[in-house]
Every structure is written in C-alpha cells, then in structure tokens.
Amino acid sequence: MKTKFFRSILVLAVLLVAIVPTVLADNGTDSFALREAVTLDGVRAHQEAFQDIANANGGTRVAGTAGHDLSAAYVRDQMLAAGYNVSYQSFTFPFFQELTPATLAQTAPGSVSYTYLVDFFTMDYSGSADVTAAVQAVDLLLPPTGGSTSGCDGDYTEVGAGGFGNIVPDPSGPDDFAGFTAGNIALIQRGTCTFALKATNAQAAGASGVIIFNEGNTPAREPLFGGTLGGPFTIPVLTASFAFGVALNDLIDDGLELHMTTNTISEERLTNNVIAETPDGRTDRVVVAGAHLDSVAEGPGIQDNGSGSAAILEIALQMAELGIRPRNQVRFIWFSAEESGLLGSEHYVSQLTNRQIKKIAVMLNFDMIGSPNFVRFVYDGDGSPTGTAGPNGSDVVEDVFLDYFAGQNLPNEPTEFSGRSDYGPFIAAGIPSGGLFTGAEGIKSDEQADVYGGTAGVAYDACYHQACDDFDNISLEALDQMSDAAAHAVLTFAMTTSAVNGTDKGKGQGSSDFDYQGSSLRK
C-alpha cells in the first residue's frame, strides 16, 4: 500500500524536469508522483462503490439496467467534481437475457432428452420459441477439413470485416438452402462466416430453428461453445459440439425430429457511455484511456471490469488532484454494453468523423487488470509474437508498457488483439492501440505459475462472468501493479511532445476481422 505523504513535493516532481531516476518516456516524463498518488486503497474504494450499487440492484451492473445507470452516475459525479468536462453519450442497443435454460429433446426416431451446457447452449440474441420439427442438414463438410461454408451462401451475404452491420441481400448468389423445407430445423456447421449470416440465411429460408455445431477440424473447434448473433432474431438458435452435431446428422436419414424451446428477452434499451476530458491539452493529439463499465447479467463484475474502470477513474482523479496539465488532451471513456459485443465503443467510434479519428493519437485499454490467478499481459502491438498487429503506432504503445515493466523488474508476456475488448473498434478505424490484461477464463500454465505464482491448471479468473466476480475476486498485487503501469502509460502519452508513429498520416493498418466480438465468438 502506498501513502499520499508530501503530496506538494510529489507535485513538483511530476511538473518539473524529471528528478527521480525512475522509468522515463522518450520526452523525459516521470510518472513517479502520479503512481504514488494512485493508491490501491483509492482504486478499491471505487470497486467497493460498484459492489454496493450491484448489491442494491439485483447483483448486477449489466447495461440497460439500474445497476449500470447508477455506476455511470457515480463515475460522472466523481469526474465533474474533479473539474473534467463530462458528458453522457446515449445510444440504444440490443439487450439480451436468457430467462430460463433452453431445452432440446429428440422426439423421433427415439425419445431422448439432451442436457443444457453439456450437449447444447443458447446463442446470444436467440429468439424465444417452442418448436418441434424435422432436422435438415445444410451443406456440411464431413469429414471436416477446415474452411466450412455451411450456411454462408443464401439470400444474404457479408460485406467487409469487423462488426455485425454488414449483412446485405444477395439474391443472385449461390444458395446452401436450395431445397430446404420451410419449417424444418437447420443443422449448420461452424466455419468461415459469422453466426449472424448463417442464422440470417436460415431464417430467410423459413427455418423454424437453427443448431450450429462446432467445425471439428482442430481440437479447439470440437467442444461445445458460446457465440453471439450480434442482434435480435425471431427464431431459436442453439450451439453444439462437433460430436453432437455429427450424431444428429447421422440420425437425419432415420427421420430425426427435435423439440426445442428457448425463453429469452431480446429488445432495444437505452444506455450511456461516460466521457470525461481534461480541460487542457492539444486536441489534435488526444489520448483515449478506456475501460468498460458494464458487467454481465450473472454478476456484479467487480473484476470484469470494475478493475479497469476503477483504475482509470482513480488515475483521472489524481491527475486533477496533482494539478497536472497535460500537453495532449486526455479523454477518459467508460464504455457501456461491452459485454453485449463492444457496442459502446463501436457506437463511440462510429460517431467520429475522419478528422476526429485522425486527432486521436492512441487508445489505451484496461479490461480485467486484477485477475486472482493473474499473468501480466501486454497487448502485442507489433504482432511479432502473436501474428496479429495493431495499426501503425501500436508497437510504440507496447514498448511503453514493456519498458516500464522492465524498469520495475516485473515479468510480463504478450497477448494478442483478439477482438475481445473495446480496442476492437479503434483498431478497425486505424487508431494505434494497446493496453493491459491479467487473464480471463484461460488456464494458467506450469511455466506461468513458476513466473507469476498462483496455481497452474486453473483459470486466471475462475469467477469470470459469474456471480462470484465480486469485491473479493481480486489479486491486490496485480491490481496495484497494473494500476501503476496504466498511470505511467496515460501520463507518458499525455505529456509526450511527439506524435505516436504513423498517426500524423491518417488511418493506419491493423487486423480487425476478429473471431470475437467482445467476450463472445462471432464466427
């Protein structure tokens, strides 16, 4: 734990030429004073406030509910009191909730009840229905060799990469659903196009329901999986493992008929991003520091992402308390509806003009930075270890974090830009991006346990997307260290006198056709 003694001395340390021989950026920025001011107690106080809000509102802070609205109001009020220019950015989004578990049973040629979360799962934005119908396979690739296009060709097609708003009519193209019997349940194999396109084509062909089973071409594409359709559907859509899908297909010639029920809410709701800007700093070289404020419906989300949200809030408050006047404007953003598919950050970026995009120097993303069984992950800006690079300049962001951790003698390792957090829309717009992460449902290896401590063979965060993601679901060590690293990076880019590489040339280049849209698979 750090103290706030001798604050006036620390203010001088940060505002004058670097005095303390700590980690320095290219322009000599010394983050020591800010890092001392951003205490673990301060970050935890915000997390406690988020927990109290969740406790009073059904145990959740999911977007579109009072729990999130009150979290946003808490952040807004704190930032207004600190002297920031604060605004709400309102938008409507497709809210989804599964009210009761789906059911699936074979009614012919036999009578078999299947098990939810073992044999099948409900896809996000599935419609709500009660269906009994014959099953019809759609262009399956068996045995699987990879590259399945099952369900991809039909009345609709996808244009471009990125989000979900790119499915357009295609009446003249090939049709996987030629000869499909309206009213049947479509059995479709996962593959190259999005689940949204597969379900759209099935619905257009008159399918009463859809089962999308895993592709089966690699071990990673064999188990039961979850996914998102990106927006509301009227028909029920389930997922299944490869083995379960093959077993269903083998029964089709015997007259397979299934009874499928889903009970969901899928409707438009209003929510808000919270945007707070420093009154000072160049507005043609803006530093965005972002974190998503919403939780999932299942829990309070105090680690995911109360950790990142609390950290950037405390960084912002202490910058104001220290009287730091940045050379470059810092724009703190708490995104909503990230758990619904990056919808808050996607809306934010979609409202920017090309000129405004060019004025954003960098996006720093902090999502889950206190995982109980943590690893210190840094997003791989140059793509050298992971093969997925950010836009030009993202390597500079990565280097700032790597240099900081080297100076603190803290081991770390790269993590790829997979599309699982709010950097995704910024990368798609060509904005240099980077950030920190301490792990979600991934399993810690023996090698990682040797380096970071913790338990091998266990998830980085065993309470990920569960009710137990509460105030106690945290590594205080990781949260303290990563909050300091975040403070260092925010201040470094806030005070730099040079543009991040490539941003003065317009949009950069980076991968954006991710398999994930937030925490959910999209294809």
User: What is residue 515's predicted lDDT score, i.e. its pLDDT?
Assistant: 64
Nearest 5°: phi and psi at 430?
85, 20
What stretches in the chain show pLDDT beneath 50?
A: 1-25, 162-164, 503-511
Pairwise CA distance, residues 360 & 266, whole Å:
34
Which among 331, 231, 229, 228 has a CA at the least distance from the CA of 281? Answer: 331
Which among 16, 30, 68 has a CA at the least distance from the CA of 340? Answer: 68
User: What is residue 231's predicted lDDT score, i.e. its pLDDT?
Assistant: 86
User: What is residue 521's predicted lDDT score, i.e. its pLDDT?
Assistant: 58
* Phi-psi category of residue 245: left, alpha or beta, with phi > 0 → left and psi -120 to 50 → alpha: alpha
CB 89 within 8 A of CB 272: yes
CB 126 within 8 A of CB 233: yes
Q: Which domains does the chain have, with CATH numbers?
A: 7-84+278-505 (3.40.630.10), 96-268 (3.50.30.30)
The number of beta carbons lying within 10 Å of the beta carbon of residue 190 is 26
User: What is residue 462's predicted lDDT score, i.e. its pLDDT?
Assistant: 97
Query: What is the set of active-site residues?
Result: 338
Structure confidence by residue, pLDDT tens digits, 201-223:
999 999 999 999 999 999 999 99
User: What is residue 33's predicted lDDT score, i.e. its pLDDT?
Assistant: 97
Pairwise CA distance, residues 35 & 284, whole Å:
26
Q: Cα-atom radius of gyration of the chain, to the nearest Å?
A: 24
Structure confidence by residue, pLDDT tens digits, 123-135:
999 999 999 999 9
Tokens of 23: 């980690």
User: What is residue 28's predicted lDDT score, i.e. its pLDDT?
Assistant: 61
